[in-house]
Amino acid sequence: MGESHGRTRQHTHPRSLHPLWSGTISPASVQILLPDPDPDTPHDSWLDRRSHNVARFDPGFTPDLLRSQVRANIDYLTQAAHAQPAIRLRRYNLPHTCRIIATDKVAYLTFYSDNAHGRNSPCLYARAPGLLYTIALQQFDTTWTNSTEAPLTPRP
């Protein structure tokens, strides 16, 4: 286990995921969780809470900016999923406190603070097997279980 500040962006950059989107590799499953940009209970949106936190230290961060960024990611994944049928996308309305990227060998955990952008937050690297890796998978599985299916179909 170690700390990395730029590694997550390296692995989530679209160029590094090209083999996945192009169909060059075909994993048995790809599970993606994103905050729900349109929750059933808009008055209690965790995405809005995160947006409010960021707007306190970033004056350019409007209330709808994070929501539109999540929608753009969903639109991108909808198109990219055409080359990768194993992709499943789910949306959640739970505390937006971290990002987890996990494979069968490693997990990257980026914990968000109330006074920094995610890109400026520390990223922990956890190898399997290990306690931190197991906790990352438990967190992901719990969120997956408490999320809703998001069909990968284009929006009108």
Place 2 in a pLDDT band, splitting at 50, 70 and 90. Answer: very low
Q: Where are the domains of the chain?
A: 2-21+28-149
> What does each C-alpha distance from 50 to 17, 90, 96, 141 come to in angstroms?
27, 19, 6, 21
pLDDT at position 9 = 39
* pTM, to two decimals: 0.78
Bigger pLDDT: 12 vs 53? 53
Per-residue pLDDT at 4 exceeds 50: no
Per-residue pLDDT at 19 exceeds 90: no
pLDDT at position 68 = 94
Q: What is the DSSP string of 53-103?
A: HHHHH-TT--TTHHHHHHHHHHHHHHHHGGG-TTEEEEEE-S---EEEEE-
- Residue 139 is which amino acid? Q
Q: Could you read off the pLDDT of 95-126 as tens digits, one per residue?
A: 888 999 998 999 999 998 888 888 889 999 99
